[in-house]
Amino acid sequence: MNEKTMQEMQKEVDNYISQFKEGYFSPLAMLARMTEELGELSREVNHYYGEKPKKSTEKENTVEEELGDMLFVMICFANSLNIDLQDAHDRVMEKFQTRDKDRWTRIEEEGK
């Protein structure tokens, strides 16, 4: 499978969206799309891991497919606002590795 960097994924999505006159949706519309996709992901998680089985008439989606949809919309959202997701990721990981470094029990500490 072809592994891509976050920058490559953002560029791929940008190339796709750039071929259409409409371009990216507005930030508010993008947020609505993300909310819609999150609802679809939630529904799938509930079907597979929750108490609500899928109806026989419902289309077979997977959690993986819905996460892919979420990723696409998130990349569109970031691109529309000129946000580098790799940089955003690096900043949030720095935050977790400093501010939250002692928040949870590390695996190697369980035996102590």
So what's the pLDDT on residue 2? 82
Query: How confident is residue 111, by pLDDT bands cut at 50, 70 and 90?
Result: low
Q: What is the pLDDT of residues 42-73, one digit of tens each?
A: 999 998 888 877 777 777 778 999 999 999 99
Rounded mean pLDDT, 35-39: 96
Q: What is the CA radius of gyration of the chain?
A: 18
In whole angstroms, what is the distance from residue 88 CA to residue 110 CA?
Answer: 31
So what's the pLDDT on residue 110? 58
Q: What percent of the chain has pLDDT over 90?
A: 65
Length of the chain: 112
